Structure 1
Amino acid sequence: MTATPVDTRPLAIDARGLVKRFDKTLAVDGVDIAIPEGAIYGILGPNGAGKTTTLRMLLGIIDPDAGTRSVLGASNPQDVARRIGYLPEERGLYPAMKCDEAIGFMGALRGLPLKVGKERGRELLEAHGLGHAIDKQIRQLSKGMAQTVQLLGTLVHRPKLVVFDEPFSGLDAINQGKLEVLIRGLADEGTTVIFSTHVIAHAERLCEGIAIIAGGKVPFTGPVDEARDRIPAQVRLETRSADGPWRAALPGDTRRVGNYWSFPLPETGVEPLLKALIDGDAGILSLSIERAGLHDAFVAIAGEAAARDMVTRGGGEAA
Structure 2
Amino acid sequence: MDTALGDPLMASNDTASAGRAPAIEARGLVKQFEGTTAVDGIDLTVPEGAIYGILGPNGAGKTTTLRMLLGIIDPDEGVRRVLGRDDPHDIARLIGYLPEERGLYPAMKAVEAIAFMGALRGVPLAEGRRRGRELLEGHGLGHAADKQIRQLSKGMAQTVQLLGTLVHRPRLVVLDEPFSGLDAINQGKLEGLIRNLAADGTTVIFSTHVIAHAERLCEQVAIIAGGKVPYAGSVDAARDRIPAQVRLETRAREGRWRDALPADARREGDYWYFPLPETGIEPLLRALIEGEAGILSLSIERAGLHDAFVDIAGEAAARALDEQSPAEAVQ
TM bin, normalised by shorter chain, reads: over 0.9
2:190 maps to 1:170: no
User: Partner letter of residue 190 of structure 1?
Assistant: G
TM-score, with length taken from structure 1: 0.95
Give the aligned partner of residue 239 of structure 1.
250
* % same residue: 78
User: Distance between the aligned counterparts of 1:27 and 1:69, measured in 2?
Assistant: 17
1:300 aligns with one of 285, 288, 311 = 311
Instruction: Say yes or no: does 1:98 pair with 2:109.
Output: yes
RMSD: 1.4
Amino acid at match of 1:158: R
Q: What's the CA shift string for 1:138-195, capped at 9, x where partnerless? A: 1221111111100000000010100000000111100000000000000000101011
Paired residue type of 2:199 = D
Code of the residue aligned with 1:132 in structure 2: it is H
The answer to whether the aligner puts 1:310 opposite 2:321 as a matched pair is: yes
Identify the match of residue 270 of structure 2 among 259, 279, 285: 259
In the alignment, the residues of structure 1 paired with residue 283 and residue 136 of structure 2 have an alpha-carbon distance, to the nearest angstrom, of 58
Q: Which amino acid aligns with 2:232?
A: T
Unaligned ranges ≥5, structure 1: 315-319
Say if 2:34 is the partner of 1:27: no
**1:180 paired residue number:** 191
CA deviations on 1:12-52 (whole Å, 9 max, x unpaired) are 11111111111200000011111111110110111000000
Say if 2:299 is the partner of 1:288.
yes
SS in structure 1 at match of 2:86:
coil
Aligned ranges for residues 11-26 of structure 1 at < 5 Å?
A: 11-26=22-37
Instruction: Tell me the secondary structure at the aligned position of residue 289 of structure 1.
Output: strand
State the distance in 1 between where 2:218 and 2:173 align.
Answer: 14
Decide which moves more: 154-163 or 304-313. 304-313
1:82 maps to which residue?
Answer: 93
Using CA pairs below 8 Å that are at least 6 residues apart, which structure has the higher relative contact order?
A: 1
**In 2: Cα distance, 1:8 partner to 1:67 partner:** 26
For residues 88-122 of structure 1, the C-alpha deviation after alignment (integer angstroms, 9 at most, x for no partner) is 00001111211111101101111111111111001
Find 1:205's aligned residue among 216, 220, 228: 216
Shift of residue 56, structure 1, vs aligned partner = 0.4
User: Is 2:135 the counterpart of 1:124?
Assistant: yes
Alpha-carbon distance in 2 for matches of 1:172, 1:201: 15
Please, what TM-score do these two structures have when normalized by structure 2?
0.91
Q: What is residue 317 of structure 1 aligned with on the other side?
A: none
Aligned partners of 2:53 and 2:206 also within 8 Å:
yes
Mapped partners of 1:310, 1:285: distance in 2: 37
- For 1:289, the aligned partner's letter is I
In the alignment of these two chains, the number of paired residues is 311
Alpha-carbon distance in 2 for matches of 1:34, 1:311: 27
Distance (Å, rounded) in 1 between the aligned partners of 2:196 and 2:321? 27
Distance, in Å, in 2 between the alignment partners of 1:297 and 1:136 is 45
State the distance in 2 between where 1:133 and 1:151 align: 15
Aligned to 1:226: 237
Tell me which stretches of 4 or more aligned residues in structure 1 moved more than 3 Å: 4-7
How far apart are the structure 2 equivalents of 1:287 and 1:135?
Answer: 58
Q: CA deviation at 1:70?
A: 1.0
Q: Residue 191 of structure 1 aligns with which residue?
A: 202
Per-residue deviation, 1:309: 1.1
Matching residue's letter, 1:303: G
| Structure 1 residues 38-77: aligned runs within 5 Å | 38-77=49-88
